[in-house]
Protein backbone atom coordinates (compact mmCIF):
# COMPACT_ATOMS: atom_id res chain seq x y z
CA UNK A 1 0.00 0.00 0.00
CA UNK A 2 1.47 3.34 -0.97
CA UNK A 3 1.18 6.64 0.90
CA UNK A 4 -1.39 7.94 -1.53
CA UNK A 5 -3.66 4.96 -0.87
CA UNK A 6 -3.17 5.19 2.88
CA UNK A 7 -4.28 8.81 2.92
CA UNK A 8 -7.20 8.29 0.55
CA UNK A 9 -10.70 8.29 1.92
CA UNK A 10 -12.04 4.71 2.18
CA UNK A 11 -14.24 3.77 -0.76
CA UNK A 12 -17.94 3.20 -0.13
CA UNK A 13 -18.94 -0.41 0.49
CA UNK A 14 -21.47 -1.93 -1.91
CA UNK A 15 -24.27 -4.29 -1.04
CA UNK A 16 -26.55 -6.18 -3.40
CA UNK A 17 -29.62 -7.54 -1.69
CA UNK A 18 -33.34 -8.04 -1.92
CA UNK A 19 -34.12 -5.60 0.91
CA UNK A 20 -32.40 -3.05 3.12
CA UNK A 21 -34.01 -1.89 6.35
CA UNK A 22 -33.54 1.54 7.90
CA UNK A 23 -31.41 -0.16 10.52
CA UNK A 24 -29.05 -1.54 7.88
CA UNK A 25 -28.66 1.63 5.84
CA UNK A 26 -28.69 4.89 7.78
CA UNK A 27 -29.21 8.34 6.23
CA UNK A 28 -30.50 6.66 3.11
CA UNK A 29 -31.39 8.39 -0.10
CA UNK A 30 -32.12 7.06 -3.55
CA UNK A 31 -29.97 7.95 -6.54
CA UNK A 32 -30.45 7.24 -10.22
CA UNK A 33 -27.01 6.49 -11.62
CA UNK A 34 -26.39 6.73 -15.37
CA UNK A 35 -24.53 3.79 -16.92
CA UNK A 36 -23.86 2.61 -20.50
CA UNK A 37 -26.83 0.22 -19.98
CA UNK A 38 -29.33 2.74 -18.68
CA UNK A 39 -30.01 4.18 -15.26
CA UNK A 40 -29.73 2.11 -12.14
CA UNK A 41 -31.43 2.88 -8.86
CA UNK A 42 -29.06 2.82 -5.89
CA UNK A 43 -29.67 3.58 -2.22
CA UNK A 44 -26.80 5.45 -0.62
CA UNK A 45 -26.17 6.11 3.04
CA UNK A 46 -24.05 4.67 5.81
CA UNK A 47 -23.59 1.20 7.24
CA UNK A 48 -22.00 1.25 10.68
CA UNK A 49 -20.64 4.72 10.00
CA UNK A 50 -19.07 3.85 6.65
CA UNK A 51 -20.31 5.16 3.35
CA UNK A 52 -22.36 2.53 1.57
CA UNK A 53 -24.35 1.98 -1.61
CA UNK A 54 -27.08 -0.63 -1.85
CA UNK A 55 -28.65 -2.12 -4.97
CA UNK A 56 -32.01 -3.78 -4.42
CA UNK A 57 -31.68 -6.27 -7.23
CA UNK A 58 -35.40 -7.11 -7.45
CA UNK A 59 -36.37 -3.45 -7.32
CA UNK A 60 -37.87 -1.56 -4.33
CA UNK A 61 -41.18 -3.37 -4.77
CA UNK A 62 -39.71 -6.78 -5.69
CA UNK A 63 -41.03 -6.52 -9.26
CA UNK A 64 -37.90 -7.56 -11.22
CA UNK A 65 -37.29 -11.33 -11.55
CA UNK A 66 -33.74 -12.66 -11.68
CA UNK A 67 -33.69 -13.19 -15.44
CA UNK A 68 -34.75 -9.57 -16.08
CA UNK A 69 -32.34 -7.78 -13.75
CA UNK A 70 -30.15 -5.20 -15.48
CA UNK A 71 -26.98 -6.75 -14.08
CA UNK A 72 -24.56 -4.65 -16.06
CA UNK A 73 -26.18 -1.36 -15.01
CA UNK A 74 -26.31 -2.42 -11.35
CA UNK A 75 -22.64 -3.37 -11.19
CA UNK A 76 -21.48 -0.35 -13.12
CA UNK A 77 -23.60 2.04 -11.05
CA UNK A 78 -21.86 0.83 -7.90
CA UNK A 79 -18.50 1.33 -9.57
CA UNK A 80 -19.49 4.83 -10.69
CA UNK A 81 -20.23 5.63 -7.05
CA UNK A 82 -16.71 4.60 -6.12
CA UNK A 83 -17.55 1.20 -4.64
CA UNK A 84 -14.64 -1.24 -4.70
CA UNK A 85 -16.11 -4.09 -2.63
CA UNK A 86 -19.50 -5.74 -2.90
CA UNK A 87 -21.23 -8.00 -0.40
CA UNK A 88 -24.05 -9.99 -1.93
CA UNK A 89 -26.92 -11.31 0.16
CA UNK A 90 -28.54 -14.40 -1.34
CA UNK A 91 -31.35 -16.33 0.33
CA UNK A 92 -30.97 -19.76 -1.27
CA UNK A 93 -32.00 -23.40 -1.35
CA UNK A 94 -30.03 -26.46 -0.29
CA UNK A 95 -28.88 -29.02 -2.84
CA UNK A 96 -26.61 -30.98 -0.50
CA UNK A 97 -28.56 -32.98 2.14
CA UNK A 98 -25.86 -32.04 4.66
CA UNK A 99 -26.75 -28.36 4.22
CA UNK A 100 -29.92 -27.57 6.14
CA UNK A 101 -32.40 -24.70 6.13
CA UNK A 102 -31.19 -22.24 8.76
CA UNK A 103 -27.53 -22.71 7.81
CA UNK A 104 -25.51 -19.80 6.46
CA UNK A 105 -23.07 -20.38 3.61
CA UNK A 106 -20.07 -18.23 2.71
CA UNK A 107 -19.47 -19.74 -0.73
CA UNK A 108 -15.98 -20.43 -2.05
CA UNK A 109 -16.92 -21.41 -5.61
CA UNK A 110 -19.84 -21.40 -8.00
CA UNK A 111 -21.39 -23.15 -10.99
CA UNK A 112 -22.97 -20.98 -13.67
CA UNK A 113 -26.11 -22.76 -14.87
CA UNK A 114 -27.85 -19.64 -16.16
CA UNK A 115 -28.97 -19.62 -19.79
CA UNK A 116 -29.93 -16.29 -21.27
CA UNK A 117 -28.18 -13.52 -19.39
CA UNK A 118 -25.57 -11.07 -20.62
CA UNK A 119 -22.21 -12.69 -20.00
CA UNK A 120 -19.91 -9.70 -19.92
CA UNK A 121 -19.72 -5.96 -19.37
CA UNK A 122 -17.76 -5.84 -22.61
CA UNK A 123 -20.40 -7.30 -24.94
CA UNK A 124 -21.18 -4.74 -27.67
CA UNK A 125 -17.71 -3.17 -27.46
CA UNK A 126 -14.54 -3.46 -29.51
CA UNK A 127 -12.84 -5.45 -26.78
CA UNK A 128 -13.18 -8.50 -24.62
CA UNK A 129 -11.69 -9.73 -21.37
CA UNK A 130 -10.80 -13.08 -19.91
CA UNK A 131 -10.62 -12.73 -16.14
CA UNK A 132 -9.17 -15.38 -13.84
CA UNK A 133 -11.81 -17.12 -11.72
CA UNK A 134 -9.53 -19.47 -9.79
CA UNK A 135 -10.65 -17.73 -6.63
CA UNK A 136 -14.12 -16.54 -7.66
CA UNK A 137 -14.79 -14.66 -4.43
CA UNK A 138 -12.64 -12.00 -2.79
CA UNK A 139 -10.70 -13.47 0.15
CA UNK A 140 -10.87 -10.23 2.14
CA UNK A 141 -14.63 -9.86 1.81
CA UNK A 142 -15.11 -13.56 2.60
CA UNK A 143 -12.97 -13.14 5.72
CA UNK A 144 -15.00 -10.15 6.87
CA UNK A 145 -18.17 -12.22 6.47
CA UNK A 146 -16.68 -15.13 8.38
CA UNK A 147 -15.61 -12.85 11.23
CA UNK A 148 -19.04 -11.22 11.28
CA UNK A 149 -20.87 -14.55 11.46
CA UNK A 150 -18.55 -16.27 13.94
CA UNK A 151 -20.65 -15.36 16.97
CA UNK A 152 -24.01 -16.20 15.45
CA UNK A 153 -26.12 -19.01 16.91
CA UNK A 154 -26.67 -20.38 13.41
CA UNK A 155 -24.43 -22.95 11.75
CA UNK A 156 -22.08 -21.12 9.40
CA UNK A 157 -20.29 -23.07 6.66
CA UNK A 158 -17.12 -21.45 5.37
CA UNK A 159 -17.24 -23.30 2.07
CA UNK A 160 -19.91 -24.12 -0.43
CA UNK A 161 -20.46 -24.38 -4.17
CA UNK A 162 -23.22 -22.02 -5.25
CA UNK A 163 -25.12 -23.19 -8.34
CA UNK A 164 -26.71 -20.22 -10.03
CA UNK A 165 -29.69 -21.09 -12.23
CA UNK A 166 -31.88 -19.07 -14.54
CA UNK A 167 -35.22 -19.04 -12.72
CA UNK A 168 -37.64 -17.53 -12.15
CA UNK A 169 -39.21 -20.93 -11.45
CA UNK A 170 -37.74 -23.32 -8.91
CA UNK A 171 -35.82 -26.37 -10.12
CA UNK A 172 -37.23 -29.81 -10.85
CA UNK A 173 -36.12 -32.86 -8.81
CA UNK A 174 -34.08 -34.07 -11.80
CA UNK A 175 -32.33 -30.70 -11.99
CA UNK A 176 -31.52 -30.81 -8.28
CA UNK A 177 -30.08 -34.34 -8.69
CA UNK A 178 -27.98 -33.10 -11.62
CA UNK A 179 -26.66 -30.21 -9.52
CA UNK A 180 -25.82 -32.67 -6.73
CA UNK A 181 -23.80 -34.78 -9.18
CA UNK A 182 -21.99 -31.65 -10.35
CA UNK A 183 -20.89 -30.85 -6.82
CA UNK A 184 -23.24 -28.01 -5.92
CA UNK A 185 -24.19 -27.40 -2.30
CA UNK A 186 -26.72 -24.61 -2.71
CA UNK A 187 -28.82 -23.14 -5.50
CA UNK A 188 -30.10 -19.65 -6.22
CA UNK A 189 -30.83 -17.37 -9.14
CA UNK A 190 -29.22 -13.90 -9.19
CA UNK A 191 -25.60 -14.33 -8.04
CA UNK A 192 -24.25 -14.86 -11.59
CA UNK A 193 -23.43 -12.66 -13.48
CA UNK A 194 -23.08 -10.26 -10.55
CA UNK A 195 -19.93 -12.03 -9.38
CA UNK A 196 -18.37 -12.27 -12.84
CA UNK A 197 -19.17 -8.69 -13.81
CA UNK A 198 -17.79 -7.45 -10.50
CA UNK A 199 -14.52 -9.15 -11.39
CA UNK A 200 -14.60 -7.58 -14.86
CA UNK A 201 -15.07 -4.23 -13.12
CA UNK A 202 -12.09 -5.04 -10.85
CA UNK A 203 -14.34 -5.03 -7.80
CA UNK A 204 -14.24 -7.42 -4.85
CA UNK A 205 -17.27 -9.64 -4.38
CA UNK A 206 -18.41 -12.27 -1.88
CA UNK A 207 -21.77 -13.73 -0.92
CA UNK A 208 -23.51 -14.48 2.35
CA UNK A 209 -26.26 -17.00 1.75
CA UNK A 210 -28.85 -18.02 4.36
CA UNK A 211 -30.43 -21.36 3.44
CA UNK A 212 -34.22 -21.13 3.55
CA UNK A 213 -35.44 -24.32 1.84
CA UNK A 214 -34.47 -27.73 0.48
CA UNK A 215 -34.31 -28.17 -3.28
CA UNK A 216 -37.08 -29.95 -5.16
CA UNK A 217 -37.28 -33.64 -4.36
CA UNK A 218 -35.45 -33.21 -1.03
CA UNK A 219 -38.69 -32.18 0.71
CA UNK A 220 -42.38 -32.70 -0.20
CA UNK A 221 -42.54 -29.23 -1.83
CA UNK A 222 -40.98 -25.78 -1.84
CA UNK A 223 -43.46 -23.73 0.19
CA UNK A 224 -43.63 -19.93 0.21
CA UNK A 225 -45.76 -19.31 3.30
CA UNK A 226 -47.01 -21.22 6.32
CA UNK A 227 -45.42 -23.90 8.49
CA UNK A 228 -42.16 -25.21 7.01
CA UNK A 229 -42.10 -22.43 4.43
CA UNK A 230 -39.26 -20.27 3.19
CA UNK A 231 -40.84 -17.20 4.77
CA UNK A 232 -41.07 -18.90 8.15
CA UNK A 233 -37.48 -20.10 7.91
CA UNK A 234 -36.13 -16.68 7.02
CA UNK A 235 -38.31 -14.22 8.92
CA UNK A 236 -40.18 -15.94 11.77
CA UNK A 237 -37.04 -17.43 13.27
CA UNK A 238 -35.18 -14.12 13.11
CA UNK A 239 -32.62 -15.29 10.55
CA UNK A 240 -33.21 -12.25 8.33
CA UNK A 241 -32.56 -9.88 11.25
CA UNK A 242 -29.40 -11.75 12.22
CA UNK A 243 -28.14 -11.60 8.65
CA UNK A 244 -28.62 -7.82 8.61
CA UNK A 245 -26.65 -7.51 11.84
CA UNK A 246 -23.93 -9.68 10.32
CA UNK A 247 -23.80 -7.43 7.25
CA UNK A 248 -23.23 -4.38 9.47
CA UNK A 249 -20.47 -6.23 11.28
CA UNK A 250 -18.92 -7.47 8.04
CA UNK A 251 -18.64 -3.91 6.75
CA UNK A 252 -16.90 -2.93 9.99
CA UNK A 253 -14.45 -5.83 9.58
CA UNK A 254 -13.41 -4.79 6.07
CA UNK A 255 -9.98 -3.15 6.03
CA UNK A 256 -10.22 0.50 5.01
CA UNK A 257 -8.25 -0.18 1.84
CA UNK A 258 -7.94 -3.27 -0.29
CA UNK A 259 -5.01 -5.64 0.07
CA UNK A 260 -6.34 -8.28 -2.35
CA UNK A 261 -5.72 -8.64 -6.08
CA UNK A 262 -9.29 -8.03 -7.30
CA UNK A 263 -8.30 -4.53 -8.36
CA UNK A 264 -5.93 -5.91 -11.01
CA UNK A 265 -8.31 -8.41 -12.61
CA UNK A 266 -8.06 -6.90 -16.10
CA UNK A 267 -4.28 -6.66 -16.19
CA UNK A 268 -3.02 -8.94 -18.95
CA UNK A 269 -6.46 -10.28 -19.83
CA UNK A 270 -7.81 -7.32 -21.76
CA UNK A 271 -7.94 -7.49 -25.54
CA UNK A 272 -8.95 -4.81 -27.98
CA UNK A 273 -9.99 -1.19 -27.88
CA UNK A 274 -10.78 0.12 -24.46
CA UNK A 275 -14.32 1.61 -24.30
CA UNK A 276 -14.64 5.22 -23.15
CA UNK A 277 -16.64 4.28 -20.09
CA UNK A 278 -13.89 2.04 -18.71
CA UNK A 279 -12.20 4.39 -16.27
CA UNK A 280 -9.76 3.95 -13.40
CA UNK A 281 -8.86 0.35 -14.14
CA UNK A 282 -5.54 -1.46 -13.81
CA UNK A 283 -4.74 -1.31 -17.53
CA UNK A 284 -3.45 1.79 -19.23
CA UNK A 285 -4.31 2.88 -22.75
CA UNK A 286 -1.24 1.29 -24.30
CA UNK A 287 -1.80 -2.09 -22.71
CA UNK A 288 -5.47 -1.96 -23.51
CA UNK A 289 -5.00 -2.10 -27.27
CA UNK A 290 -2.57 -5.01 -27.45
CA UNK A 291 -2.65 -8.74 -26.98
CA UNK A 292 -0.16 -9.14 -24.13
CA UNK A 293 0.13 -12.94 -24.23
CA UNK A 294 -0.30 -15.67 -26.82
CA UNK A 295 -3.78 -17.10 -26.50
CA UNK A 296 -4.50 -20.77 -26.07
CA UNK A 297 -6.16 -22.60 -28.92
CA UNK A 298 -9.62 -23.12 -27.50
- Chain residues binding Zn ion by CB under 5 A are 138, 204, 260, 262
Q: What is the CA radius of gyration of the chain?
A: 19
Which one, 230 or 260, has the nearer CB to Zn ion?
260
Number of H helices, E strands in the chain: 8, 14
Q: How far is the CB of 126 from Zn ion (least distance, A)?
A: 28
Task: Write b or e for each residue in 161-174: b if 16 or more Cβ atoms lie within 10 A of its Cβ, otherwise e.
Answer: bbbbbbbeebbeee
Nearest distance, CB of residue 141 and Zn ion, angstroms: 6
CB of 138 to Zn ion, least distance (A): 3
Return contacts of 225-234, CB within 8 angstroms, 24+ apart: 230/91, 233/101, 233/102, 234/91, 234/210
The smaller minimum CB distance to Zn ion, of residues 135 and 272, is found at 135
Q: CB 220 → Zn ion: shortest distance, Å?
A: 41
For 235-258, give one letter per residue: b (16+ CB within 10 A) or e.
eeeebbebbbbbbbbbbebbeeeb
Residues linked to residue 112 through DSSP beta bridges, in sequence order: 164
Q: Where are the beta strands (DSSP E) in the chain?
A: 13-17, 26-33, 40-47, 50-56, 85-89, 92-94, 104-105, 109-113, 127-129, 156-157, 161-165, 186-188, 204-214, 270-272
Q: Is the Cβ–Cβ distance between 230 and 224 less than 8 Å?
A: yes
Shortest Cβ distance from residue 107 to Zn ion (Å)? 15
Inter-residue contact 87 to 51 (CB < 8 Å): no
Nearer to Zn ion, 53 or 91 (CB): 53
The residue (of 84 and 94) whose beta carbon lies closer to Zn ion is: 84
85/271 with CB nearer Zn ion: 85
In this structure, the number of other CB atoms found within 10 A of the CB of residue 273 comes to 11
Closest to Zn ion by CB, 86 or 216: 86
Q: Output the smallest distance, CB 199 to Zn ion, in A.
A: 9
Q: Cβ of residue 40: shortest distance to Zn ion, in angstroms?
A: 22
Output 138 or 281, the one with its CB closest to Zn ion. Answer: 138
Count of alpha carbons within 13 angstroms of residue 254, beta-carbon side: 33
Amino acid sequence: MNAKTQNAKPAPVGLISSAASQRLLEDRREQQVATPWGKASVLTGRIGGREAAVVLRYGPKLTIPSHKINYRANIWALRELGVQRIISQNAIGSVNPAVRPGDIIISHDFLDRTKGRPLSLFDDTECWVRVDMTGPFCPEVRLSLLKATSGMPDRVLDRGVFACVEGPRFETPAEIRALQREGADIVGTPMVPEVTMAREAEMCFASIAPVINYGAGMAPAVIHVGPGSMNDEYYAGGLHDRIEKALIEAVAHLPEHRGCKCGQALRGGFHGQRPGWLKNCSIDDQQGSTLPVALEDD
